[in-house]
């Protein structure tokens, strides 16, 4: 009877180990596929470009606000195209 319990205990340990390995493999495959999809659709580049555009628009807004406040009365407000060409 004790031999049967030992055998069941070992199979449970093997099952747990196999389950953990399976979970790790599924996560690894998911991350690899996700990276390939992001590369294929150029999502990383798009994110970087959108971030750059956002920074430049913020800069343009700050410049326009300072002009409207009279701090820089000599200069005209920047347009988006002027800001992006900087």
Q: How many Å is the maximal CA-CA distance in the chain?
A: 96
pLDDT of residue 66: 77
Please check whether residue 59 is in contact with residue 83, taking contact to mean a CB–CB distance below 8 angstroms.
Answer: yes
Task: Convert the pLDDT of each residue in 69-85 to its tens digit.
Answer: 665 555 566 666 665 66
Q: How far apart are CA 62 and CA 42, in angstroms?
A: 30
Mutual angle of helices 43-68 and 2-40, in 10-degree steps: 60
Record the tokens describing residue 45, joined without a space: 């580049």
**Residue 22 pLDDT:** 96
Residue-range domain boundaries for the chain: 1-41, 42-86
The string of pLDDT tens digits covering residues 5-61 is 576 677 788 888 999 999 999 999 999 999 999 999 999 899 999 999 999 999 888
pLDDT of residue 47: 93
pLDDT confidence of residue 28: 98
Can you say whether residue 79 is alpha, beta or left, with left for phi > 0 and alpha for psi between -120 and 50 degrees? beta
């Amino acid at each position: 009877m004790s031999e049967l319990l030992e055998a069941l205990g070992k199979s449970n340990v093997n099952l747990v180990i196999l389950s953990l390995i399976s979970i790790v493999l599924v996560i690894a495959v998911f991350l690899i596929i996700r990276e390939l999809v992001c590369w294929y659709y150029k999502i990383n580049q798009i994110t970087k470009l959108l971030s750059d555009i956002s920074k430049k628009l913020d800069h343009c807004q700050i410049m326009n606000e300072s002009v409207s406040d009279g701090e820089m009365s000599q200069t005209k407000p920047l347009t988006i195209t002027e800001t992006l060409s900087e």
